[in-house]
Structure 1
């Protein structure tokens, strides 16, 4: 697991666009063909905000000890390891207890069963609740005076509520564009509105 740096400072100015990430699944190429058949193709259904990322035409069902959730969107392109991201509310419905993790940190994550059109696949690891995080380019990171893997908090204010989301991980890459990703539970708690932004604040 990555060791994150906790910053100690006062707030800094800057609006962060917020995107709500619903439950979804990243798949390896091998698992994709197992779920959808040897002749299946991972086709673009909708381009996502981060460059090169897309929602695919395919959806799966995910099944836990207590229940099942259908129409979980597959995202592309293929990943090295299959990863399913859900909310805490989803976890309760499924009867599972996934850890809050950053994408790709799957060791000792929760097991889950995936159901596709052509196959069923049980994964011993791969189910997580995604930790809130901010994508930004190197230029954007410099303007906010933060670095990759820094831990910050984000204050969200609208006509209904004002909340702070803590332990938000900064992710920096030349391929990223500025955007914070939160799950549906966090969005509902904050009464997120269209074109909502947040204020990036350093921890402390």
Structure 2
């Protein structure tokens, strides 16, 4: 069995266990970490990959009929580029790029925090594929933390579509997320989505759970002092001379920090991306 299929199976088992735990405990929701990714329109898919191109499914996502494609693209901004950014399928009406704040710094851009699909007035971005490139005047966002749920889940939690709640995650580094938007649809499965920066701040991995602790009505009444404080905590430095695929799999936590002299193998980088881990190079 191919390693990538093994990883897909493991991730799905973790998700299912998380959902089972969430059902057994009141107000619990499974958590999922969403790395940077791109949604493409049919028009832009053709420009980037060729006319009549069809995305190749790599693995199913937690939400029904959504999948991670084999295809990746390059994101380019004023200050840098990010390679191997996963394309998600199926194609959409409008092209949208979702990144973390850390990604935005690397690109040299300042995208707004938005709900998926709300791209009006968002940041510009260039997407580069094997057959061509696309410049978007708007389309780059940082995704608002949100919870997908079915109508039955919404009734059980006593919340409505578009409402904002607080979610507490009792992890190794406990953290409370505020301004978490509720998204309700009969096609949704219960799961809270956060980006890699939010996951790093709370040592969160896909499959863990959080608890809805309060609900609010408007975005203006919410703030996030706990989240800001958590991001200041230092993550231990990997002290080895070589970071390989084996170390990436063995090390705990969503972030692996290495010194400038540490050699990071290409396979280690690929494995980190697949596991949703981030490798940071810092001055020793």
Per the TM superposition, whether the score is higher than 0.5 is yes
Matches within 5 A, 1:109-120: 109-120=122-133
Task: Note the residue ranges of structure 2 that are not aligned, 5 or more in a row.
Answer: 1-24, 217-284
Cα 1:193–1:103 shift into 2, 3 Å: closer
132, 135, 144: which one aligns with 1:122:
135
Note the 1:30-45 alignment, pairs <5 A. 30-45=43-58
**1:96 and 2:109 equivalent?**
yes
Pairwise CA RMSD: 1.2
Greater helix content: 2
| Match of residue 5 from structure 1 | none
Pick from 96, 109, 116 the counterpart of residue 83 of structure 1: 96
2:186 aligned with 1:196: no
- Structure 2 distance, partners of 1:98, 1:51, is 28
Distance 2:81 2:121 in 1: 22
- Count of residues in correspondence between the two structures: 192
Unpaired runs of 5+ residues, structure 1, are 1-11
Q: Cα distance, 1:194 vs. partner?
A: 5.1
Pairing of 1:1-204 with structure 2 (within 5 A): 13-158=26-171, 160-193=172-205, 195-203=207-215
Encode CA deviations 1:114-151: one digit per residue, 9 max, x unaligned: 00000011000000000000000001111101111111
Q: Secondary structure at 1:177's aligned position in 2?
A: coil
| Deviation readout 1:157-187 (Å, 9 max, x if unpaired) | 12x2111111000000000000000000000
CA distance in structure 1 between the partners assigned to 2:106 and 2:168 by the alignment: 29
